[in-house]
Structure 1
Amino acid sequence: MDAILSVFSFIQGLGVSVMMPILLTILGCCFGAGFGKSLRAGLTVGIGFIGLNLVINSLLGTTLAPAASDMVARFGLSLTTVDVGWPAAAAIAMGSNVGMLIIPLGLVVNIVMLLTNTTQTVDVDIWDYWHFAFTGALVAIVTDNIMMGFAAAIINMIIIMVLGDYTAPLVEESLSMPGVSLPHGFTTAYAPIAMLFNWILDKIPGIRDIDVNTDMLQEKFGVFGEPMIIGTVIGLVIGVLAGYDVTGVLQLAVSLGAVLVLIPRMASLLMEGLLPVSDAASDFVEKRFSNRGKIYIGLDSAVGVGHPVTLAISFVLVPLCIFLAVLLPGNTVLPFADLAVIPWMFVLITPCVHNNGFRGIIIGIIVLAIGLYIATDLAPLITTAAANVQFDMGGAAQISSICDGANPLTWVIVRASSFLGIAGLGITGVIAIILALWNRKRILKEAAELHEAEAAEESAN
């Protein structure tokens, strides 16, 4: 067992930019794309991730988050629970008993779901399995039962895989990413909330007719409606609110303008690498498994962060999140370390609202408010989980995070287990099974319709 754990620990330590080329090369060869083509595709994706991380960490991480933090200091805001950020949350999750086995466990769950036609996604984003481990670790604490922790992680993954399949057509349409799904434990958990409130907004006269998107802005304002100009203007506003001098304001403005240009470029590089493997997977399935429908490659939601609407929403809501934290009665979490990952919350919200920036902001405010309350409620459990793995909390009495401490799916599974014990976990398990069976029915129907359309086309020819 120690040897197995060491192997998976080594794999995890290689990081996404190294393991993604290896995994995609293997997948491409298995799907018949050929070694050379698969290797080139894998390396292109790896390079794309390096570029994406450079832009996110160097521009978003070192400009937007500090500016928001300076706003905190300038306006004298203070709350009692420390936001330690996603790296800390991931370390806590992977250091738990559930986390030590989450990668092999996640791979088994994905394979079983593929074989039973309950998912269409080959989830190669194995590093983000930590989101499932995070849920499992908290359930293990509230139930004092490690097996229930493993069960919670599996339930979480099954639900996310189904949601990843269901939202994949929206990802293809909105983000221009054919053959890609986003079964991301954090991002995808917000999709049902976005769908619900988008449906509600559809029912409100007047509101339902408001549509603000980058295409409309460019059409009305020309060059001043382009993403780089929008990012620059938002950067100017945030810089002024943060109390920066002229130099600081201008540097922030240009940096945020650059983000709206560079991240989409990196995302397009990712897609250049993924398309050969995705096409090969589709051909492979079509030839050998006519009843399985389309196959998606499951990726980290970072590939969708660069959508202009998503970034514009994020630039507006990151500083607003801090004021929400202060204004919401009962909230104790001051967003800090995870301010830079707030865009990940909106990656699937943008497709769900069909790129409507107005609806994205409305739903984003709702999501942030819900998330802050969840992060507050889970803070004692997250603090206990950190203590269990001897995580250094830097003297903080209580810690939490936006990612994954504000995750609504994690909260539902944890609180169901907390209030009802094994019965609560059983209820969430039944829901997961129902969703998986519904997904299977949808997949088979989609495959049958596709097969009939192809047969009709052949007959016509």
Structure 2
Amino acid sequence: MIDAILQWVIGLGGTILVPVILIILGLVVRLSPARAIMAGLTVAIGMIGVNAIIGILTSALAPAVQSMVQNFNLSLNIIDMGSGTAGPLSFSTTLGVLIIPIAIVINLLLVWVGMTKTLNVDVWNLWQPAMVGVMVWAVTSDYLLAVLSMIPFFLFELLLADLFQPLISKYFNLPGIAITHVMALSGMVLAIPLNWVFEHIPGLSKIDINSETVRKRFGFLGNPMLIGFVIGCGIGILAKFEFAGIVNLGIQTAAVLTLLPKMISMFMEGLTPIAEATQQFTETHLNGANVNIGMDAALTVGNPDVLAVSIIMIPITLLIGVVLPGNQVLPVGDLPTLVFALCLMVAAFRGNFVRSIIGCSIYTVTMLYLATWIAPALTGAYQIAGYSVEGLASFVSAGLWPNALCLAIAQYSGYAGVAVLSVVALALLFYINKARHVVSKIAK
């Protein structure tokens, strides 16, 4: 009965599920029913708009990626299924859907005791810890261990959301919002120290090129519409399209860079009153706690710097995948949606094109190696979910360090390792949200 209810809830999909949760949250934090419903509907419209525009980008770029693969006769052993298959995979088992009640209970408890500032409403993206659970189940055949392995992953999700919220909120102008999308958050762990290294490299530290500086220096040539057109045409040329195909891809890419920010603004129009009401509610009822609403990284992908870097990274990632020694994943299916894995890294590099491309390239190397290592477990997960897979399957953004860490700990250390990892995550949450302030006061 419970499983049937959870499967029905998941079947609603993110564009229904997230706005409904936001409406309920709005009512809980004392928004009027009219304002709560309008806020939820506005977010729903924004989500539909974002998904539609990302769909345009994906459908436009997918043939170009396939063409590049064929033109250069590229082949590797592991098929890239694309991250779009991961959500249905994760929620197609009873194990996967258990993460929803587990995550809600853990999140509410940690908010109540002040060990997290993030209230996650992005239920759909809980497919990410669910996928780890199904992979653990595939390699260990231990259902309970698989269920428990999802817990440290979710704890790390809250930890990363809390840790990077100030930087992300400032760069993307998202007050009261945290990003809980692990696919996007994972790269920040590499990007921030890399940015420090770049700051101390003579020459590189002086280069500061982003869409704003290009616009100031070159006028209309720095317009996101024109930047999108040039990048799209460049991808079309690499794909060896005919003239019409090149121009069409350029126009579609320009349309995405122009329209996506407008849809993101609708997202924020709906989220803002709920975020403000949530903050007032928690200040009154949770001893002044500062709570941010956890949302999908879709809120950040409309940034022109993010889109420009992500599209440029498509041919670069394909090249890296082919020449990287030891890599077996041919990056194809995941390339059109690579923006979700790289978007927050661009914020860590403050939108600097040169640093972002170098840093994202280094991160892509780590993802491809981990995606190769994770392939047997992920193939087993696809098989559990009823997918017909020949040979090994993976995808580029499956190679996230939280995925590999939780899988490896569960696979090689069992219950003890999962318990220790959970305690470590809780200790870090306690430190950054409670103890760090005490330590800072003592230090002063």
Q: Fold match, TM over 0.5? A: yes
The residue that corresponds to 1:378 in the other structure is 374
The residue that corresponds to 1:349 in the other structure is 345
Q: 1:321·1:368 contact (CA, 8 Å) conserved in 2? A: yes
The residue that corresponds to 2:4 in the other structure is 6
Q: 1:236·1:253 contact (CA, 8 Å) conserved in 2? A: yes
Secondary structure of 1:297's counterpart equals strand
Offset at residue 203 of structure 1 (A) = 2.6
Q: 1:117·1:443 contact (CA, 8 Å) conserved in 2? A: no
Q: Against the structure 1 CA distance between its residues 344 and 176, is the aligned structure 2 distance closer, same or farther, given a 3 Å change threshold? A: same
Separation in structure 2 between the aligned mates of residue 95 and residue 445 of structure 1, nearest angstrom: 44
Offset at residue 397 of structure 1 (A) = 1.0
Q: 1:174·1:351 contact (CA, 8 Å) conserved in 2? A: yes
Offset at residue 15 of structure 1 (A) = 1.6
Offset at residue 268 of structure 1 (A) = 0.7
User: What is the one-letter code of the residue matched to 1:92?
Assistant: L
> Which of 164-173 and 255-264 deviates more?
164-173
Offset at residue 288 of structure 1 (A) = 2.6
The residue that corresponds to 2:385 in the other structure is 389
The residue that corresponds to 2:401 in the other structure is 408
User: What is the one-letter code of the residue matched to 2:424?
Assistant: I
Separation in structure 1 between the aligned mates of residue 72 and residue 103 of structure 2, nearest angstrom: 44
- Match among 114, 135, 139 for residue 138 of structure 1: 135
Q: 2:3·2:94 contact (CA, 8 Å) conserved in 1? A: no
Q: 2:139·2:380 contact (CA, 8 Å) conserved in 1? A: no
Residue identity over aligned pairs, in percent, reads 32
Separation in structure 1 between the aligned mates of residue 437 and residue 198 of structure 2, nearest angstrom: 32
User: What is the one-letter code of the residue matched to 1:413?
Assistant: C
Check if 1:319 corresponds to 2:315: yes
Separation in structure 1 between the aligned mates of residue 49 and residue 84 of structure 2, nearest angstrom: 19
Counting only pairs closer than 5 Å after superposition, residues 440-459 of structure 1 correspond to structure 2 as: 440-441=433-434
The residue that corresponds to 2:425 in the other structure is 432
Number of aligned positions between the proteins? 440
The residue that corresponds to 2:392 in the other structure is 398
User: What is the one-letter code of the residue matched to 1:67?
Assistant: A
The residue that corresponds to 1:276 in the other structure is 273
> Which of 192-201 and 360-369 deviates more?
192-201
Offset at residue 19 of structure 1 (A) = 2.2
User: What is the one-letter code of the residue matched to 1:68?
Assistant: V
Offset at residue 205 of structure 1 (A) = 2.4
Secondary structure of 2:91's counterpart equals helix
Q: 1:89·1:401 contact (CA, 8 Å) conserved in 2? A: no
Check if 1:218 corresponds to 2:212: no
Check if 1:253 corresponds to 2:253: no
Offset at residue 270 of structure 1 (A) = 0.3
Secondary structure of 2:387's counterpart equals coil
TM-score by length of 2: 0.95
Structure 1 residue runs of 4 or more that deviate by more than 4 Å after TM superposition: 442-446
User: What is the one-letter code of the residue matched to 1:322?
Assistant: L
The residue that corresponds to 1:308 in the other structure is 304
Q: Against the structure 1 CA distance between its residues 148 and 202, is the aligned structure 2 distance closer, same or farther, given a 3 Å change threshold? A: farther
Secondary structure of 1:98's counterpart equals helix
- Structure 2 alignment gaps of length 5 or more: none
The residue that corresponds to 1:328 in the other structure is 324
Q: 2:171·2:350 contact (CA, 8 Å) conserved in 1? A: yes
> Which of 139-148 and 121-130 deviates more?
139-148
Separation in structure 1 between the aligned mates of residue 195 and residue 411 of structure 2, nearest angstrom: 31
Q: 1:291·1:444 contact (CA, 8 Å) conserved in 2? A: no
The residue that corresponds to 2:15 in the other structure is 17
RMSD of the alignment, in Å? 1.8
Q: 2:275·2:293 contact (CA, 8 Å) conserved in 1? A: yes
User: What is the one-letter code of the residue matched to 1:319?
Assistant: P
Separation in structure 1 between the aligned mates of residue 377 and residue 323 of structure 2, nearest angstrom: 24
Q: 1:304·1:347 contact (CA, 8 Å) conserved in 2? A: yes
Secondary structure of 1:181's counterpart equals strand
Show CA shifts across 1:297-320 (max 9, x none).
111111111111111111110111
Counting only pairs closer than 5 Å after superposition, residues 41-440 of structure 1 correspond to structure 2 as: 41-57=39-55, 59-292=56-289, 294-393=290-389, 396-403=390-397, 405-440=398-433
Secondary structure of 1:33's counterpart equals coil
Separation in structure 2 between the aligned mates of residue 211 and residue 54 of structure 1, nearest angstrom: 32
> Which of 169-178 and 48-57 deviates more?
169-178
Q: 2:18·2:123 contact (CA, 8 Å) conserved in 1? A: no
Separation in structure 1 between the aligned mates of residue 225 and residue 133 of structure 2, nearest angstrom: 41
> Which of 332-341 and 152-161 deviates more?
332-341
Q: Against the structure 1 CA distance between its residues 442 and 341, is the aligned structure 2 distance closer, same or farther, given a 3 Å change threshold? A: farther
User: What is the one-letter code of the residue matched to 2:328?
Assistant: T
User: What is the one-letter code of the residue matched to 1:249?
Assistant: I
